[in-house]
A = this chain, B = another copy of it.
């Protein structure tokens, strides 16, 4: 996915200094830089644990786009890895002007603020029925808003102005949970494999719906028979007809036999169910935090979203369902690069001031 931004020739090179901004998260490391004289921003992502590959990418960028000159390069880093891998970065790039560390929250907000206000066609709404709609934010209405940043885990920030924000909550059930559990169950090796399963799966084969419990709608409390009552609620059932009774199970029944009984659920259905469960849950927590803090607009960022329609539809649906239409979910074309963008802008300001 090409995410390059063109933004006026040379405007990203307001000094002779070459800036590489990096945001090293728990699972993914994001990189932003501006190729010499092109007036363009480039965006790259590498898995954090492929640390060698990541370092090589930074070397390649300096070699290709700054004539191999570390001496005129600044690396500006944010995310947890900016702290964890700081010494390693210094060893790897001993000749750069500096390696700076920037606060993650400040960078996220600065990056988001920039994308919202400066980049056309960046913000959009999405749901499966209405499709994608580009939003032109009316500046006056932007604050306060909520940023729900979904990476390996989830951080929820309330933003009152560019310089006034706080982390109001979060969740450990994020992208790392989805991909971790799915890879454990399915043996999948790539995000794309799991996403394509999720796309074609039918969650009703593993989820227990309201109708599975009631046989019909539970009208009194407004639950439709198609609402999910329990994610994966159909899995741990022993299927009495197709199975020996307890006393028929011999001591020799192997773990393999037992496991085989549960293998009747397919990867596609499992993937869709878990994508729904995690996305719905994030949507609900985001809604509740927005309600507690009296905020109407909720921006979803972070690499978890990855432009994936089912994910965005589920998040939008959750916000709309819980708020009864009172709150709005927004998405961003550069959803994964908020932190790196903020760090890049910080560096631009710092070098401009020197």
Q: Are A80 and B215 in contact (CB under 8 A)?
A: yes
Given known pairs A83-B214, A172-B230, A189-B258, the reply for A270 and B177 (CB within 8 Å) is: no
Q: Are B83 and A172 in contact (CB under 8 A)?
A: no
Q: Are B171 and A235 in contact (CB under 8 A)?
A: no
Given known pairs A153-B208, A235-B183, A292-B288, the reply for A220 and B105 (CB within 8 Å) is: yes
Residue of A50, A189, A215, A277 with most chain B CB atoms under a 10 A cut-off: A189
Q: When chains A and B are docked, how far (Å) is the Cα of A49 from the Cα of B167?
A: 44
Q: Are A172 and B280 in contact (CB under 8 A)?
A: yes
What residues on B are CB-neighbors of A47 within 8 Å?
A: 237-238
What residues on B are CB-neighbors of A83 within 8 Å?
A: 214-216
Q: Are A181 and B180 in contact (CB under 8 A)?
A: no
- Chain A interface, number of residues (Cβ within 8 angstroms): 79
Q: Are B281 and A171 in contact (CB under 8 A)?
A: yes
Which of B80, B208, B240, B270 meets A176, CB within 8 Å? Answer: B208
Closest partner residue, chain B, to A25 (CB atom):
B213
Q: Would you give the 0/1 interface string for A75-111, flagging 1 where the beta carbon is closer than 8 Å to chain B?
A: 0000111011100000000000000000111000000
What residues on B are CB-neighbors of A172 within 8 Å?
A: 207, 228-231, 233, 277, 280-281
Q: Would you give the 0/1 interface string for A275-314, flagging 1 where the beta carbon is closer than 8 Å to chain B?
A: 0010011001100110110000000000000000000000
Q: Are B184 and A235 in contact (CB under 8 A)?
A: yes
Tell me whether A173 is interfacial, beta carbon within 8 Å: yes
Closest partner residue, chain B, to A24 (CB atom):
B213
What residues on B are CB-neighbors of A84 within 8 Å?
A: 213-215
A276: min CB distance to chain B, Å: 8
Within 8 A of B (CB), among A238-296: 238-240, 255, 258-259, 262, 265, 270, 277, 280-281, 284-285, 288-289, 291-292
Q: Are B152 and A213 in contact (CB under 8 A)?
A: yes
Which of B167, B173, B221, B291 meets A221, CB within 8 Å? Answer: B167
Tell me whether A27 is interfacial, beta carbon within 8 Å: yes
Closest partner residue, chain B, to A155 (CB atom):
B221
Q: Would you give the 0/1 interface string for A167-190, flagging 1 where the beta carbon is closer than 8 Å to chain B?
A: 101011111110111111101010
Q: When chains A and B are docked, how far (Å) is the Cα of A180 from the Cα of B212?
A: 16
Q: When chains A and B are docked, how far (Å) is the Cα of A180 from the Cα of B169?
A: 28
What residues on B are CB-neighbors of A201 within 8 Å?
A: none
Closest partner residue, chain B, to A81 (CB atom):
B213
Q: Which residues from chain A sit less than 8 Å from chain B, CB to CB?
A: 25-27, 47, 49-52, 79-81, 83-85, 103-105, 151-153, 167, 169, 171-177, 179-185, 187, 189, 206-208, 210, 212-216, 218, 220-221, 228-240, 255, 258-259, 262, 265, 270, 277, 280-281, 284-285, 288-289, 291-292, 322
Pairs of residues from A and B, 4 with the lowest C-beta to C-beta distance, nearest first: A176-B233, A180-B232, A80-B213, A180-B235
